[in-house]
Amino acid sequence: MLTILPEKCVGCGMCVMVCPEEALAVWGLVEVDRKKCTDCLTCVEYCPVEALEDRP
């Protein structure tokens, strides 16, 4: 499951740009809308600071 590591997230929004479901939003820190997120993990690939992870 997509997990956000707030201590690593800088809030750049690159994950927001690539999310195919528009499930992510950023305002200083990224937030996920669990109702929309399909755990496709595209955002994990694009995070430049490894602040997004796939965790059980």
Partner 1 sequence: MKTHKCDVAIIGSGLGGAAAAAYLSRAGYQVLVIDRLPFVGGRCANLDYQGFRLPTGVVWVSDGFHGQLCRDVGASFEIRVPKPEYFYRIRGKDYEMPAKGGLRAMIAIAAEEAEANRAMAALKRGLSWQEPPMSISVKAWLQQFSADPSVLGIFEMLSTLSSGLRTFELPAGEFFRYLMAMSAVKNYGFVPGGCGNITEALAGVGKANGAEIWLRAPARRITQKNGLVTGVLVDTAGGQVEVQARAVLSNAGPQATVDLVGKENLEKGYLGDLEQKLHASPQIIIYVASDRPLLECPGLTFLTESRRVLFMAPLTNLCPELAPKGQHLTEVAAFLGNSLPPYNLRQELDLAMADIRDNLPAFDKHARVLLAGCYHGGWPVMRCWPGNYLPQKTPIENLYNVGDGVAPPGWWGSPSAVQSARIVIEDVKRRISPGEASR
Q: Is 40 in the site for partner 1 (CB under 8 A)?
A: no
**Among residues 3, 13, 33, 39, which is the contact residue for partner 1, using CB under 8 A?**
13
29 binds partner 1 (CB under 8 A): yes
Closest approach, Cβ 42 to partner 1, in A, equals: 9
Tokens of residue 17, six digits: 């740009």
Q: Whose CA is closest to 7, among 47, 54, 50, 55?
A: 50
23 CB-contact burial (10 Å; exposed 0-12 / middle 13-18 / buried 19+)? buried
Nearer to partner 1, 1 or 29 (CB): 29
- What number of chain residues touch partner 1 (CB under 8 A)? 17
